[in-house]
């Protein structure tokens, strides 16, 4: 494919966003390493949703976002563009998908950069808020990486900074496939909600990566080991979805 | 799993039918050997559709079904149960999915047998009609196997028997993934519409198999090489779907 990063065969997620952006069609499919195949009922459409259609916790969580913002895993720019346009904040969106960045820019995000979360290397005190919506606390990947990256974010943010992040509580499920997966994770000494997944879209096959789903209690423990403190948990009604606010201790 | 064939890990198709039968939930996902992942907008619900909701060609094709009927790939029993209940015909449904057979029986199909198409071995003159709906001409798999199995069906059916079969014309598409696949097939000297696929459902992964999509012209050529004749083609409006009637020469 050469320089044309937009057509990378592994950018399944980006192609999904691209097709939806161009033609309002397509469906996200996530594959898990136990063979689970999971066609989404809502994505990719949900990645383009206007503020009024967001889950209530996501709307409420926005009250904790201020100043210079880093949007981790900005996708199609849903959250970053909202903050830039309606809150007039200085937002940088990062994503490891070339086509996600392209879509974000075409949709009006001024600052969007192709960058994997694990490669962040910003100057000390660069941001006042870090946003990780759409379950993107998951991008921490594992307990170990969460601690490393939270440590780095501690330095890269101002003293009164907040991380406003979303997850789903993996224990609020009765799905036998998920419960079996959690048992397997415990046996392998992984966090129960650490899922190894990849995106599938048309003939595009994403790279495998770890995505970490945690309970508020687990998130609290991880945060507290790194100089952050879980100060607030906003819970979505009748849903395992929640938004947490982490501030500095 | 032992004797409990219903829980075979490879019976992804059957599990999809089973969950829909029990809970009216789930979505069919087909994976092709070029990596294509294809979540269905209609299946498995469509496998349970009452006659009134069938495509027009399928309704019209029923006029050619009579006497003792073999339903190849009966799935959840959609067609076989209709013929048994409303046409009072003597129908045997066969399927290679244990759970499909279980669902068919529970839904009221009197004669349903776990049997792969390639293993059919009925007495001469056993059937007056063979039905292959839901694109099930595809179960012939390849040109070579189609000729073999059509030859066997010639013997197993009565002199005025008809095969009422459905396919989609693979050339009526502008999907770049399908066009690329067809080019690859031509290079490999396979029929352009011969797709190697498997079912994915929850954590169940079906076995790979070949499914043959043909144009009416290709079907005609295959039939004529085996003692059958394509006597009628019923085309669905604004759709590549068609039902063909094969009779004996």
Long-range contacts of B215-219 (CB under 8 A, 24+ apart): B215/B169, B215/B170, B215/B171, B216/B169, B216/B242, B216/B244, B218/B191, B218/B193, B219/B137, B219/B165, B219/B167, B219/B244
Q: What is the tens place of the pLDDT at every residue in B123-171?
A: 999 999 999 999 999 999 999 999 999 999 999 999 999 999 999 999 9
The percentage of residues in chain A with a pLDDT greater than 70, rounded to a whole number, is 97
How high is the pLDDT of residue A7? 57
Alpha-carbon distance B239 to nearest alpha carbon in chain A (angstroms) = 19
Is pLDDT of A42 > 80? yes
Is pLDDT of B13 > 60? yes
CB contact (8 A) between residue B34 and residue A203: yes
Mean pLDDT of chain B: 95
Q: pLDDT-based confidence at A8, cuts 50/70/90? A: confident
Q: What is the tens place of the pLDDT at every residue in B167-184?
A: 999 999 999 999 999 999
SS3 assignment, position A229 = strand
CB contact (8 A) between residue B36 and residue A202: yes
Alpha-carbon distance A23 to nearest alpha carbon in chain B (angstroms) = 13
**Is residue B173 within 8 Å of residue B179, measured between CB atoms?**
yes
Q: Which of B202, B204, B205, B207 to mutate to test the interface with A (most CBs of A within 10 A)?
A: B202
Query: Residue B36: its chain A contacts at CB < 8 A?
Result: 202-203
How high is the pLDDT of residue B7? 57
Q: Which of A203, A205, A207 to mutate to test the interface with B (most CBs of B within 10 A)?
A: A203
Paired tokens of A97: 């998908």
| B31 bridge partner residues | B37, B198
Q: Which helix (H) or strand (E) holds B168?
A: strand B157-168
Q: Which of A17, A23, A21 is nearest to A75 (CA)?
A: A17
The sign of the dihedral angle between the CA atoms of A17, A18, A24, A29 is negative
How high is the pLDDT of residue A209? 96
End-to-end CA distance of chain B: 47
Q: What is the ipTM of this complex?
A: 0.89
Q: pLDDT-based confidence at A34, cuts 50/70/90? A: very high
In whole angstroms, give the CA distance from residue A193 to residue A210.
10
Is pLDDT of A2 > 70? no
* B37 interface with A at CB cutoff 8 Å: yes
Phi/psi-derived region of residue A191, left when phi > 0, alpha when psi is between -120 and 50, beta in every other case: beta
Is pLDDT of B8 > 90? no
Q: What is the tens place of the pLDDT at every residue in A194-207?
A: 999 999 999 999 99
Is pLDDT of A3 > 60? no
CA distances from A60 to A143, A242, B161 (A): 27, 11, 68
> For A95-122, what is the mean pLDDT?
97
In whole angstroms, give the CA distance from residue A94 to residue A117.
8
Q: What is the tens place of the pLDDT at every residue in A125-155?
A: 999 999 999 999 999 999 999 999 999 999 9
- CB atoms under 10 Å from CB of B248, counted, come to 15
């Amino acid at each position: 494919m050469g320089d044309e990063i937009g057509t990378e065969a592994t950018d399944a997620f980006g192609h999904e966003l691209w097709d939806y952006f161009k033609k309002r069609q397509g469906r996200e499919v996530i594959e898990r390493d136990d063979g689970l195949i999971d066609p989404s009922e809502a994505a990719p459409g949900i990645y383009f949703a206007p503020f009024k259609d967001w889950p209530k916790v996501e709307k409420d969580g926005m009250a904790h976002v201020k100043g210079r913002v880093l949007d981790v895993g900005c996708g199609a720019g849903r959250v970053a563009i909202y903050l830039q346009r309606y809150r007039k904040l200085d937002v940088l969106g990062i994503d490891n998908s070339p086509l996600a960045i392209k879509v974000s820019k075409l949709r009006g995000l001024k600052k969007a950069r192709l960058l994997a979360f694990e490669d962040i290397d910003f100057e000390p005190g660069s941001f006042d808020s870090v946003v990780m919506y759409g379950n993107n606390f998951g991008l921490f990947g594992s307990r170990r990486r969460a601690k490393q990256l939270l440590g780095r974010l501690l330095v890269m943010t101002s003293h009164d900074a907040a991380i406003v992040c979303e997850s789903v509580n993996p224990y609020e499920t009765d799905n036998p496939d998920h419960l079996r997966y959690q048992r397997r994770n415990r046996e392998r000494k992984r966090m129960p909600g650490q899922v190894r997944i990849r995106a599938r879209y048309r003939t595009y096959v994403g790279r495998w990566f770890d995505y970490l789903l945690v309970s508020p209690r687990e998130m609290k423990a991880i945060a507290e080991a790194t100089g952050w403190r879980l100060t607030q948990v906003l819970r979505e009604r009748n849903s395992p979805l929640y938004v947490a606010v982490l501030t500095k201790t």
